[in-house]
Amino acid sequence: MSAEPTSPPLPGAAARSPFNNWITAIGAVLAIGSLFSFALLTWMDLTGSHKNPYLGIFTYIVAPGFLITGIAIMFFGAWAQRRWEIKHAATMPDKWRLDFSNRAQRRLLVLFGSGGVIFLLLSAFGSYQSYHYAESTQFCGQVCHSAMNPEFTTYQRGAHARVDCVECHVGSGATAFIQAKLNGTRQLIGFTLDNYRRPIPTPVQNLRPARETCEKCHWPEKFHGNIDLTFDHYLSKKNNDSYGVRMLLHVNSGRPGSPLGGIHWHVNPDSAVEYYAADEKRQDIVWMRVTNKKDGSSRIYRNQEFKGDPPAGTVRTMDCMDCHNRPAHVFPTANDAVEKSMALGTLSTKLPAIKRTAVQAIIQKDITTGTEAPGKIAEFLRGKYKDEAELPAAIAEVQKIYATTIFPERKADWRVYPSNIGHKDWAGCFRCHDNKHKSDKGETVKASDCNSCHTIIAQGKGPELAALSSAGLEFKHPDGTYDEELSCADCHNGGIQGK
Ligand code: HEC
Ligand code: HEC
Ligand code: HEC
Ligand code: HEC
Ligand code: HEC
Ligand code: HEC
């Protein structure tokens, strides 16, 4: 819009185009820069090995946004120029006709040209940086802090803390790619407008198939033999008695290449287990079919209530995720979280009945936000203990357990995110192996007695837990015998057990 005519009108000067002004020129540089970024990002997006849904935000929203802004600035410049001309009732001489003999013009041109090039380089660099930023775990886990905090927190202490979010969460192939872009955009808009579901519903429907994710790093043929696990527990008694169970899990009792048995039999290449769950969370499995892929024979099991066949399109083939549904984000139960601190010694077992009290403190009904939790927990514990020396440390530890276990802002904890790997606190394996699913001939599902999946080699406390039995032990329930009809999860809910 600079108006001072600096040089006399050149002979034959035509009426000056309204697009011929500084504002429009700046707009044009911006538009060209973002067009360039857009092309670069699209290229990286299409050729990159990692398909990040959020990259779509930069590629298809931010870059075009700048492009549109640039074009708008160009038109604004033209409009302002016209206004100026009308106001001054004069047609501007075309002072922009390049005159290389004019030093001032030459200098301006060089300045403008190099400014433009630098801008282009900067936008290329910016695009490249945003590409890598969008790929990072930090972006997924921390930018949408309040939305992703539960998953990020649980992820960081899991076995997969070094595996990028996108490895498990973004599909490959053209449709998965577009779907992920749409999803990422929808999620970011949802997050910005604070309009997303709490808790985020599971099972996640568009997760990459296990073949493409888990099996890149873990392949079923590799497993063999037993896995030795010890579960440390404490009883809700005054003296905080410990109670451990050590067992061998028969993950794969066969050898590689042999007919694969054991727990990982479900994913062996020669057979398939399909099922139909009556609920969205896949917890109420009412129908299943086992197919022997070699001879094509199959067997169907139903629970007592379900007759007939599942509706079309609802049958799912079992894969890793049907048992390992929480490989990266384990939401421990209140019990397990407290017991873990006790086992590590960070929560003193000298405080009488600390297990029960700590669990009660973190599951208080009237804690509704994370900010009020520390105060209420401290108050609760101070009400139960007097002046024990361990109290301040215990308060701090229980507050920490709360912060990493229960996420009230997202309504996320073990109660809404069941883990399907066992059967104590959630139905898990017992969704199918419960002796209640039967074939037409009345057969029950194989592996439904206590020794088919694991052998308990030690249980109890102290020396009892140290003495190993190779023959295997019958499980001694610490709270005595109970009605056989009950399933573990009927009583064990992760909080305070009821009978
Ligand atoms: C090892 C694979 C893996 C990695 C790595 C991973 N996730 Fe997940 N994530 C899963 C699986 C499997 C589920 C689905 C659980 C279900 O459907 O029940 C899931 C579920 C989720 C959910 C839905 C809510 C929930 O808790 O089920 C969110 C949100 C999520 N992940 C975010 C992230 C973020 C953020 C990261 C990186 C910090 C990440 N994930 C890394 C496997 C992974
Ligand atoms: C990029 C490689 C990678 C991918 C993809 C991956 N994992 Fe892992 N996983 C690992 C590594 C490495 C470990 C071992 C960690 C250790 O030893 O502490 C591991 C450990 C495990 C363990 C045993 C340890 C535990 O405590 O949980 C399970 C179970 C597991 N992964 C399941 C899965 C499932 C299910 C998936 C797919 C959703 C998956 N993994 C995807 C690399 C991967
Ligand atoms: C969707 C239903 C379903 C779920 C969930 C399930 N299973 Fe199975 N499982 C089956 C079916 C069906 C069979 C085959 C039964 C038959 O042939 O009679 C089987 C067979 C087995 C076998 C025997 C394999 C062999 O050697 O032939 C073991 C062991 C086993 N399951 C363990 C588990 C464990 C552990 C879990 C939980 C982590 C689990 N299952 C979860 C359906 C399921
Ligand atoms: C029927 C349920 C079930 C299915 C399906 C299943 N697993 Fe497992 N897997 C288990 C159980 C149970 C264990 C024992 C560990 C435990 O209980 O935490 C285990 C152990 C593992 C381990 C730990 C091995 C080790 O040496 O520490 C890895 C890794 C693993 N599974 C990966 C996979 C992958 C990958 C798939 C899919 C190809 C898969 N699992 C399918 C139930 C299952
Ligand atoms: C279908 C296979 C299967 C059957 C049948 C089964 N279990 Fe388990 N059980 C598991 C798996 C898998 C785990 C490990 C869960 C984990 O890794 O967290 C487990 C864990 C346990 C634990 C340790 C749980 C904890 O948190 O301390 C006990 C105790 C136990 N089982 C007892 C039993 C008893 C008693 C029976 C018979 C009523 C039984 N199991 C039947 C698969 C099975
Ligand atoms: C009738 C209800 C009921 C049933 C059914 C039940 N339990 Fe328990 N269980 C309890 C109670 C109550 C305690 C004592 C809790 C305490 O002291 O904190 C307990 C304690 C335990 C403990 C040690 C402490 C803890 O909190 O983990 C384990 C392990 C356990 N049960 C495993 C199982 C398994 C595995 C099954 C299924 C095979 C099962 N229970 C079925 C009520 C039950």
Instruction: Give the mean model confidence (pLDDT) for residues 34-38.
Output: 87
- Whether residue 144 has pLDDT greater than 70: no
- Whether residue 430 has pLDDT greater than 50: yes
Residue 237 backbone zone (phi > 0: left; psi -120 to 50: alpha; other: beta): beta
Q: Is the CB of 160 under 6 A from ligand 2?
A: yes
* Other Cβ atoms closer than 10 A to 157: 11
Question: Is there a contact between 432 and 288 (Cβ–Cβ < 8 Å)?
Answer: yes
Measured from the alpha carbon of residue 428, the closest ligand is: 3
Q: What is the pLDDT of residue 358?
A: 97
Q: What is the pLDDT of residue 2?
A: 43
Distance CA 408, CA 87 (A): 62
Q: Is the CB of 137 under 6 A from ligand 1?
A: yes
Distance between Cα 353 and ligand 5 center (Å): 26
- Whether residue 470 has pLDDT greater than 90: no
Locate tokens 């549109």: which residue?
Answer: 68
Distance between Cα 446 and ligand 3 center (Å): 7
Instruction: Give the mean model confidence (pLDDT) for residues 350-379.
Output: 94
Instruction: Give the mean model confidence (pLDDT) for residues 340-346.
Output: 95
Q: Amino acid letter at 14?
A: A
Token reading at 453: 């999946």
Average pLDDT value for the chain: 84
Q: Amino acid letter at 148?
A: M
By C-alpha distance, which of 292, 301, 253, 264 is closest to 434?
301
Dihedral Cα 206, 211, 216, 217, nearest 10 deg: 90
Question: What value does the CA radius of gyration of the chain take, rounded to a whole number of Å?
Answer: 33
| CA 192, 196, 198, 201 torsion-angle sign | negative
Q: Amino acid letter at 350?
A: K
Q: Is the CB of 376 under 6 A from ligand 2?
A: no
Locate tokens 């290229």: which residue?
Answer: 43
| CA 221, 227, 231, 232 torsion-angle sign | negative
Distance CA 247, CA 229 (A): 6
* Residue nearest atom 30 in ligand 3 by C-alpha distance: 263
Calculate what percentage of the chain has a pLDDT beyond 90: 45
- Whether residue 133 has pLDDT greater than 90: no
Distance CA 477, CA 239 (A): 18
How sure is the predictor about 171, in pLDDT bands with cuts at 50, 70 and 90?
A: low
* Residue nearest atom 13 in ligand 5 by C-alpha distance: 422
Least confident of 30-34, 37-41, 382-386: 37-41
Token reading at 235: 């009883």
Q: What is the pLDDT of residue 297?
A: 94
Least confident of 7-21, 51-65, 200-214, 282-296: 7-21
| CA 404, 409, 415, 420 torsion-angle sign | negative
Distance CA 377, CA 101 (A): 80
CA distances from 350 to 54, 338, 399 (A): 49, 14, 18
- Whether residue 93 has pLDDT greater than 70: no
Measured from the alpha carbon of residue 262, the closest ligand is: 3
Instruction: Give the mean model confidence (pLDDT) for residues 396-414.
Output: 94
Mutate to test the pocket of ligand 4, among 167, 247, 267 (most ligand atoms within 8 A of CB): 267
Least confident of 34-43, 112-121, 201-210, 414-423: 201-210
Q: What is the pLDDT of residue 195?
A: 74
Question: Is there a contact between 292 and 269 (Cβ–Cβ < 8 Å)?
Answer: no
Q: Amino acid letter at 190?
A: G
Q: What is the pLDDT of residue 317?
A: 93
Mutate to test the pocket of ligand 5, among 454, 476, 491 (most ligand atoms within 8 A of CB): 454
Distance between Cα 221 and ligand 2 center (Å): 15
Q: Is the peptide bond before 199 cis (omega within 30 degrees of 0)?
A: yes
Q: Amino acid letter at 394?
A: A
Mutate to test the pocket of ligand 6, among 488, 490, 496, 499 (most ligand atoms within 8 A of CB): 488
By C-alpha distance, which of 473, 461, 468 is closest to 233?
461
Token reading at 304: 């007592």
- The distance of Cα 481 from the centroid of its chain, to the nearest Å, equals 39
Q: What is the pLDDT of residue 95?
A: 52
- Whether residue 349 has pLDDT greater than 80: yes
Token reading at 291: 């197919």
Question: Is there a contact between 455 and 472 (Cβ–Cβ < 8 Å)?
Answer: yes
Distance between Cα 236 and ligand 5 center (Å): 21
Q: Which residues contact 307 (CB under 8 A, 6 or more apart)?
A: none
Q: Is the peptide bond before 93 cis (omega within 30 degrees of 0)?
A: no
Least confident of 11-25, 394-408, 437-451: 11-25
Token reading at 338: 């407290």
Question: Is there a contact between 91 and 17 (Cβ–Cβ < 8 Å)?
Answer: no
* Residue nearest atom 42 in ligand 4 by C-alpha distance: 323
Q: Is the CB of 228 under 6 A from ligand 6?
A: no
What lines the ligand 3 site, CB under 6 Å?
Answer: 261-263, 265-266, 273, 275, 285, 288, 290, 318, 322-323, 421, 428-429, 431-433, 445-447, 452-453
Q: What is the pLDDT of residue 12?
A: 44
Q: Is the CB of 168 under 6 A from ligand 1?
A: yes
Distance CA 363, CA 498 (A): 15
Q: What is the pLDDT of residue 10?
A: 47
> Counting atoms of ligand 3 from 1, which one is nearest the CA of 429?
37
Distance between Cα 148 and ligand 1 center (Å): 10
Distance between Cα 133 and ligand 6 center (Å): 46
| CA 104, 109, 114, 115 torsion-angle sign | positive
Calculate what percentage of the chain has a pLDDT beyond 70: 84
Q: Is the CB of 418 under 6 A from ligand 1?
A: no
> Counting atoms of ligand 3 from 1, which one is nearest the CA of 443?
18
Distance CA 464, CA 246 (A): 11
Measured from the alpha carbon of residue 221, the closest ligand is: 4
